[in-house]
């Protein structure tokens, strides 16, 4: 008898915590762990449903929004406002990672399409 192994919610939640930890480590290590976190999010987002999928989509949007913000900030650093944009993007990134982790701790949903939470 061939049965697919379906992970339970604890396994899904643990994997999501790992993704958030990688995004959090990205704050300390220049974003490199966040690359691993977004890869994990892309792999796992189709395997889960409900609030966990929303969290993965939230993390993916956080990664790409941050990358875009850094590119724009880097380009605009030529005219002097890039540093302010990069600072704002850093604050936005930290806010999203913290809010997402707190929502996961409470086992509540998050709006993946929103820019703030």
Q: What is the average pLDDT value for the chain, to the nearest integer?
A: 88
Phi-psi region of 31 (alpha: psi -120 to 50; beta: other; left: phi over 0): left
Residue 3: CB partners within 8 Å, gap ≥ 6? none
Percent of the chain beyond pLDDT 70?
A: 91
Domain ranges of the chain: 10-105
Other residues' Cβ atoms within 10 Å of the Cβ of residue 8: 9
Q: What is the pTM of this model?
A: 0.86
Reported as a single tens digit per residue, the pLDDT across 20-77 is 999 999 999 988 999 999 999 999 988 887 889 999 999 999 999 999 999 999 999 9
At residue 11 the predicted structure's pLDDT band, cuts being 50, 70 and 90, is confident
């Amino acid at each position: 008898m061939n049965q697919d192994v379906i992970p339970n919610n604890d396994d899904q939640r643990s994997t999501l915590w790992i993704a958030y930890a990688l995004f959090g480590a990205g704050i300390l290590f220049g974003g490199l762990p966040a690359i691993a976190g977004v890869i994990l999010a892309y792999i796992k987002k189709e395997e889960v449903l409900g609030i966990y999928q929303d969290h993965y989509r939230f993390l993916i949007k956080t990664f790409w929004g941050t990358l875009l913000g850094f590119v724009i900030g880097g380009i605009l650093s030529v005219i002097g406002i890039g540093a302010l944009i990069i600072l704002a993007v850093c604050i936005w990134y930290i806010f999203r990672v913290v809010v997402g982790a707190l929502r996961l701790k409470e086992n509540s949903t998050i709006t993946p399409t929103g820019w703030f939470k």
